[in-house]
């Protein structure tokens, strides 16, 4: 059985897609998407030996070697020039690494129509990259599994800034423009949690004699707290 997290990612893979799952590890996501009759074919990309071998084994075990190509390499470099890939999934990494993989693999994105990204932390790096590169966020989800909160971002080529009209752009980047509008219970849990965590850091900074005027970390935290206050009444 697939985790709720990866199941959510899989739910956004378009029907009959040919997709590349980057950092696939055990290749559960491509195997599942094909066995469910959703995707037509997939590439499972992995940079590390162990996960690459476990992806190979899993694909063999599922008898899917004819439709899933397991490849070892860095990021989008596993996609060959001119190879037709409709969709890319990148899940279970930090936002900074996902952004780096997209940025370095830009030339491989020309034929891609959808990106499904699941950062474990720092989703704002990805949102900013999407705007800067002409990708429109069309859907966002937040979910809880095993006491962890995960965000899933779905983007398509288009009017990159459109979802950001409700709150300030900065608040949209940090909290997610679609998630902020929906304000689900899970969303509120995440940001009230972060807010109280920041508050306790500020208290510790004050105890240690730091002030807003003289401490950059202090200023950064206050800035983020204000962005949360803009969206939630805390």
**Which residues lie near ligand SAM (CB under 6 A)?**
6, 22-25, 45-48, 51, 74-75, 91-93, 97, 101
Using CB atoms within 10 Å of the CB of residue 14, give its burial: 0 to 12 exposed, 13 to 18 middle, 19+ buried: middle
CA atoms within 13 A of residue 96's CA, in its CB half-sphere: 0
Write out the two tokens for 70: 């397991």
Rounded to whole angstroms, the maximal C-alpha distance in the chain is: 64
Nearest distance in Å: CB 22, ligand SAM = 5
Distance, in Å, from the CA atom of 167 to the CA atom of 182, rounded to the nearest integer, reads 12
- Nearer Cβ to ligand SAM (101/173): 101
Contact 173, 124 (CB under 8 A): yes
Nearest distance in Å: CB 23, ligand SAM = 3
- Nearer Cβ to ligand SAM (33/224): 33
Nearest distance in Å: CB 177, ligand SAM = 24
- Nearer Cβ to ligand SAM (46/141): 46
Residue 147 phi, psi (nearest 5): 65, 15
- Nearer Cβ to ligand SAM (7/139): 7
Write out the two tokens for 23: 């950092």
Name the β-bridge partners of 25: none
- Nearer Cβ to ligand SAM (155/228): 155
Nearest distance in Å: CB 89, ligand SAM = 8
Nearest distance in Å: CB 25, ligand SAM = 3
Distance, in Å, from the CA atom of 89 to the CA atom of 84, rounded to the nearest integer, reads 15
Distance, in Å, from the CA atom of 231 to the CA atom of 227, rounded to the nearest integer, reads 7
- Nearer Cβ to ligand SAM (18/97): 97
Nearest distance in Å: CB 181, ligand SAM = 26
């Amino acid at each position: 059985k697939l985790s709720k997290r990866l199941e959510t990612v899989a739910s956004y893979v378009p029907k009959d897609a040919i997709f590349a799952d980057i950092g696939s590890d055990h290749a559960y996501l491509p195997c599942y998407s094909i066995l469910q009759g959703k995707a037509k074919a997939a590439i499972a990309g992995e940079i590390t030996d162990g996960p690459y071998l476990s992806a190979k084994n899993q694909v063999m075990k599922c008898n899917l070697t004819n439709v899933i190509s397991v490849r070892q390499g860095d990021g989008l470099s596993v996609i060959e020039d001119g190879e037709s890939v409709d969709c890319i999934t990148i899940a279970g990494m930090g936002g900074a690494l996902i952004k780096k993989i997209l940025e370095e693999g830009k030339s491989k994105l020309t034929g891609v129509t959808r990106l499904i990204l699941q950062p474990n932390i720092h989703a704002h790096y990805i949102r900013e990259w999407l705007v800067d590169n002409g990708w429109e966020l069309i859907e966002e989800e937040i979910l809880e599994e095993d006491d962890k909160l995960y965000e899933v971002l779905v983007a398509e080529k288009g009017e990159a800034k459109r979802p950001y009209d409700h709150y300030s752009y900065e608040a949209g980047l940090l909290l997610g423009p679609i998630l902020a509008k929906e304000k689900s219970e899970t969303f509120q849990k995440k940001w009230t949690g972060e807010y109280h965590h920041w508050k306790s850091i500020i208290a510790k900074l004050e105890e240690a004699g730091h002030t807003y005027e003289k401490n950059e970390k202090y200023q950064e935290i206050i800035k983020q707290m204000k962005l949360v206050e803009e969206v939630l009444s805390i």
